[in-house]
Amino acid sequence: AQKITQTQPGMFVQEKEAVTLDCTYDTSDPSYGLFWYKQPSSGEMIFLIYQGSYDQQNATEGRYSLNFQKARKSANLVISASQLGDSAMYFCAMSPANTGNQFYFGTGTSLTVIP
Amino acid sequence: DVKVTQSSRYLVKRTGEKVFLECVQDMDHENMFWYRQDPGLGLRLIYFSYDVKMKEKGDIPEGYSVSREKKERFSLILESASTNQTSMYLCASSSTGPRNYEQYFGPGTRLTVT
């Protein structure tokens, strides 16, 4: 069975500080993709970053980086230099290669950036 | 620019009504998905489609059906709405290729069944 776990229902971070949002996953498929999405209060899901299971390097997109530890089955999102606009729900998702692009989502982490 | 649109942002229906939620994407994507999102449960897949006239059940298909007559349009149907179907409904689409690509989401429809 495929499973995504986000153990932090809520997180707080001071503006300009870095924050790590945790995500662990479970799959028996050797090939899979890992994704992070941001959902502001407006409700729209915004794609942030992708990591392939065979990628050697950790993915980075601007202030976002994905700390991929394959042996531990973790895919933590690191946001550097937090901004007030980063306050949102963050969802981790996994897509095993043999599922036709089907995604499995975690329950999300609510991040609040404090001025 | 990538675009997924949903027919309504907010919808209020009565118990027993037939409800149609429409989703349209303009990216020529093969794959389309319907999710519902509830607090503390994340996003749960209801149905998805790989191609026109094709559909696959997701994790929670009971009480729902779908229709995909054209590539760009994927409809979610609640045959007889019930109060436990009050939720946020999100549509998404993605392309097909050598890897699984990110899904692009619509703005969501917040459905209330009274």
**Residues A13-72 pLDDT 10s:** 999 999 999 999 999 889 999 999 999 998 899 999 999 999 989 999 999 999 999 999
CB contact under 8 A, B48 and A102: yes
The rounded distance, in Å, linking the Cα atoms of B27 and A112 is: 33
Using a 10 angstrom Cβ sphere, with 0-12 exposed, 13-18 middle and 19 or more buried, the burial of residue A44 is: middle
CB contact, 8 Å: A33 with chain B?
Answer: yes
Average pLDDT, rounded, for chain B: 93
Query: A108 to chain B: which residues are within 8 Å by CB?
Result: 42
Query: A44 to chain B: which residues are within 8 Å by CB?
Result: 105-108
Q: A88-96 and A104-105: which strand pairing?
A: antiparallel
